[in-house]
Amino acid sequence: MKKTNPVLIGLSALVIPILFIHLMLTFSCKGQDMKTDNHLQYNELTPDEKRVIEGKGTERPFTGEYYDHFEKGTYTCRKCDLPLYHSTDKFKSGCGWPSFDDEIPGAVKKIPDKDGIRTEILCAYCGAHLGHVFTGENLTSKNVRHCVNSISMNFVPDGEQLKRERAIFAAGCFWGVEHLFKGIKGVLDTRVGYIGGKNENPTYDQVCSKTTGHAEAVEIIYDPGIVSFEELVKFFFEIHDFTQVNRQGPDVGDQYRSEIFYTLEKQRETAQKYVEMLKDKGYSVATGITKATAFWEGEDYHQDYYEKTGKHPYCHYKRNVFNE
């Protein structure tokens, strides 16, 4: 019987775990093939809803629930419940489908349709198919028509609370900002990415070149019945140095600026209220308050960075600012 070399056994026991750890770290750091789990529970769809929302179908004209609907309120995504359109932007076009000449800032994504002619519109968060957008028809002063399937939307009347809302904050390196916001009760999901610049779908390297104008930011999906936007704004100011211009600690550049990107007018008003409150306390506030534009999701390896690496934020921590 052939004897087994105990030295080789010992080396194998040592080398194999090291190789395994090396491979794990490689994929964790590069993140090329890693996908971040979605923490937001989507609504269950009927077969007809799936045909349109996921299969990119179209409902028959003049049959949709919201075609001739003009109650005041907010139209939300049927799949994820996030706000898409205000009733004030809805108009009668006679086309057979609900028509809007504007969307809630950053709520809708526009991509070339597979037919090579039209522009498809999707929910910017969950990717639900909404319809198509057209320009040059001169139907309103904005000269834009979002032609949306009723079956892709729900409606929340004015005065009723939305099920879910979005908030977008920039406060330096998005790793630490996301990590701290994830611990708040009522925050349903977070995504790090880029906003406020001139390039479409920018990469991390492009943003770091300081030529695109984007800020590293965190998109927060939250339940307004559990946590208010006001509480989120207060927390935002308490986890970073809002007096620094185009930097946060050792990170320097306009991508690390302090900025609140509002998606609703009430968010702008709340953000401004807290800026004035801090100024009254004697702070020199560098935080910008800007209407949201397209939010470009960051690379996979940036998502949930500290959970993946086991590290900790180096320039973000919670402190008391408002009750000093």
The residues annotated with a catalytic role in the active site are 147, 173
Q: Are 196 and 213 in contact (CB under 8 A)?
A: yes
Q: Could you give the angle at the alpha carbon of 52 between the alpha carbons of 47 and 57, nearest 5°?
A: 120
The residues, ordered by sequence, that sit 6+ positions from 86 with a Cβ below 8 Å of its Cβ are 74, 75, 102, 104
Task: Note the residue count of the chain.
Answer: 324
Q: Are 202 and 245 in contact (CB under 8 A)?
A: no
By C-alpha distance, which of 196, 259, 272, 192 is closest to 230?
272
Q: List 247's β-bridge partners, or say none.
A: 252
Tokens matching residue 209: 């070149």
C-alpha distances (whole Å) from 320 to each of 8, 12, 239, 244, 274 are: 58, 53, 9, 17, 14
Report the alpha-carbon distance of residue 58 to residue 121 in Å, rounded.
13
Q: Are 153 and 98 in contact (CB under 8 A)?
A: yes
Q: Could you give the angle at the alpha carbon of 316 between the alpha carbons of 310 and 321, nearest 5°?
A: 145
User: What type of residue sits at position 42?
Assistant: Y
DSSP 269: H
Q: Which residue has the tokens 């923490």?
A: 39
Sheet strand arrangement including 144-148: 90-91, 99-100, 144-148, 129-135, 119-123, 108-112
